[in-house]
Amino acid sequence: MSENTQKDTTVQEEIQETVQETPAAETVKEENQKEDKKGFLKKGSKDKAKIEELEKKVAELENKTAKDKDDYIRLMAEFDNYRRRTSQEKLELVSMASTDTIKGLLPVLDDCERALAVLKDSDDSNAAKEGTELIYSKLMGYLKSKGLAVIEAKDQTFDTDLHEAVAQFPVQEEEQKGKVFDVVQTGYTLNGKVIRFAKVVVGI
């Protein structure tokens, strides 16, 4: 066999070996690609699960924060209501104390009014009249500064919110019917609230 023939034979054998090895190499390559894909999918699944877990934790924290905020707002509202209520109760206590004190002085005002009415028609000295008027004026001025006001009743339309009828009196004039004919006892309000109704005689 010549040298050229041997070379051709060697080349053909190498070609055959290459052809035989190529499918195996491709198979290995495909298997490697499959393994890489599986690894990628597996890693993607782990990442997705981790993301879902983190999102769940974030949602839980947001819910907890919202609940804590709501509880805080409710607590502040309750505290504000408590503060207002206690302040109002203190004011009512002070007002009640002053109301009771002023109510206790109303009979003194009544006596002063009676004394002035008697002295007006009396021949007593002017000093007695002036002294009584001075006492009455000072006492009334002080009580007015505390919110006391006289309920106007004479010739006013009878009002159950301000007046208390103790008697009725027949009148001839039509316009006087249903109105206060006379005042038996003066009524008073304290800071706009009635503390004693005016006792009156109503025309019918």
Cα 146 to Cα 141: distance, rounded to the nearest angstrom: 9
* Better-predicted residue by pLDDT, 204 or 185: 185
pLDDT at 118: 86
Q: At a CB cut-off of 8 Å and minimum separation 6, what does 195 contact?
A: 99, 102, 103, 106, 188, 189
pLDDT at 100: 85
Confidence of residue 19 (pLDDT cuts 50, 70, 90): very low
**pLDDT over 70 (residue 9):** no
Identify the H or E element spanning 86.
helix 3-120
Q: pLDDT of 101-127, one tens digit each?
A: 899 999 999 999 888 888 887 776 778
Q: Of 170, 172, 162, whose CA–CA distance to 201 is shortest?
A: 170
**pLDDT over 90 (residue 90):** no
